[in-house]
Amino acid sequence: MAKFITIMSGKGGVGKTTTSINLALAMHKTGSDVVLLEGNLSSPNISVHLGGTYFPVTIHDVMVGKHPIKNAIYEHHTGLRIVPADISVEAMQLVNFEELKKHVHDLHLYADYVIVDGSPGLGRESTHLIEMTDELIIITNPDPASLLDAKRLIDFAKRFNKIIIGILITKHKNKSYKLKPEEIERETGVRVIGMIPECKKFEMSLHHKKPYIHLYPRRKPSKEYEKLAGMLTGRVL
Ligand SMILES: Nc1ncnc2c1ncn2[C@@H]1O[C@H](COP(=O)(O)OP(=O)(O)O)[C@@H](O)[C@H]1O
Ligand SMILES: [Mg+2]
């Protein structure tokens, strides 16, 4: 049975897609069988981060029963397998989470881990994603606004009795005005499982449409994503 791990946040723009891609790739590099699934169907952007915006079969085709999920699995040149979404506005009308839930479970046949790039906030989409997943990783930046939204998401997710693996702090900076991991743990009651330093090179990664850990494997953020991948899979590089 594949384990579904969904990457979520209260606030938008904190680093969910960046984390989903780099964490999934780091897990793949440990030899684990991973698929990265686009779960942010209202504004999908895995394909923007990885290059290529047209895919003949997407999660939307699977949702409407046109194709089995295996036809929507693509191998990126890094070796990471992804299930992209249709980015057109028309495709948004096709979203039916009940159907999605039925079909994504077929991914059990193709992977040990499904990393789901989630949506921000506590809306309908997030509710369905929480229902669909086994476990959650909450992303926050070390500032009061992201933390407040992360707290709300954690309170919300607890109602579904899902395992919250922990909080990943992204865009971390050692500055007096930034929140410390201890403060974030104290405020949320959830453990911090990693800290990804803020790094300008993430912009270059987006520009080149290549995962950060693929472009900059020796930098600290890559090492931190690898550490987390090791913790999740029990395998190290
Ligand atoms: N550790 C980091 N340091 C600096 N910039 C980052 C970091 N992580 C993500 N970013 C940048 O933040 C922006 C939003 O990231 P993204 O992953 O798209 O967020 P979300 O999916 O939560 O909306 C992107 O420009 C991304 O390159
Ligand atoms: Mg995103």
**Residue 237 predicted with pLDDT over 80:** no
Query: How far is the CA of 213 from the CAs of 26, 141, 178, 180, 190, in angstroms?
Result: 8, 20, 25, 25, 27
**Residue 53 predicted with pLDDT over 80:** no
The reported pLDDT for the residue numbered 227 is 98
Neighbours of ion ligand 2 (CB under 5 A): 16-17, 45
The reported pLDDT for the residue numbered 86 is 93
The reported pLDDT for the residue numbered 92 is 84
First to last CA, the chain: 23
Q: Name the CA dihedral angle for 231, 84, 150, 229, rounded to a multiple of 10 degrees.
A: 10
Q: Is the dihedral of CA 224, 156, 11, 150 positive or negative?
A: negative
Q: In this structure, what are the phi and psi dihedrals at residue 107, rounded to the nearest 5 degrees? A: -65, -15
Which amino acid does the sequence have at 91? Answer: A
> Ligand 1: does its nearest atom lie under 6 Å from the Cβ of 221?
yes
Question: Angle at Cα 145 formed by Cα 144 and Cα 148, nearest 5°?
Answer: 80
> Ligand 1: does its nearest atom lie under 6 Å from the Cβ of 171?
yes
> Ligand 1: does its nearest atom lie under 6 Å from the Cβ of 144?
no
Do strands 192-197 and 3-9 pair parallel, antiparallel, or not at all (unpaired)?
unpaired
Distance 64 CA to ligand 1 centre (A): 31
Are 22 and 115 a contacting pair, CB within 8 Å? Answer: no
> Ligand 1: does its nearest atom lie under 6 Å from the Cβ of 204?
no
Nearest residue by C-alpha to atom 27 in ligand 1: 202
User: Mean pLDDT of all residues in the chain?
Assistant: 95
Q: In this structure, what are the phi and psi dihedrals at residue 190, rounded to the nearest 5 degrees? A: -120, 140
In the chain, pLDDT over 70 holds for what percent of residues? 100
> Ligand 1: does its nearest atom lie under 6 Å from the Cβ of 65?
no
The reported pLDDT for the residue numbered 193 is 98
Closest ligand 1 atom to 117 CA: 21
**Residue 110 predicted with pLDDT over 90:** yes
> Ligand 1: does its nearest atom lie under 6 Å from the Cβ of 17?
yes
Tokens 């890094």 label which residue?
Answer: 78
> Ligand 1: does its nearest atom lie under 6 Å from the Cβ of 99?
no
Which amino acid does the sequence have at 145? Answer: A
Closest ligand 1 atom to 19 CA: 17
Q: Which ligand is nearest to the CA of 222?
A: 1
Closest ligand 1 atom to 14 CA: 22
Whole-angstrom distance, CA of residue 14 vs CA of residue 68: 32
Confidence of residue 9 (pLDDT cuts 50, 70, 90): very high
Confidence of residue 94 (pLDDT cuts 50, 70, 90): confident
**Residue 17 predicted with pLDDT over 80:** yes
Confidence of residue 99 (pLDDT cuts 50, 70, 90): very high
Lowest average pLDDT, out of 9-23, 34-48, 91-105, 175-189, goes to 91-105
Q: Which two tokens stand for residue 226?
A: 């690898």
**Residue 201 predicted with pLDDT over 90:** yes
- Predicted confidence (pLDDT) per residue in 137-146, tens digit: 999 999 999 9
Q: Which ligand is nearest to the CA of 46?
A: 2
Question: In CATH, what is the architecture of 3-233?
Answer: 3-Layer(aba) Sandwich (3.40)
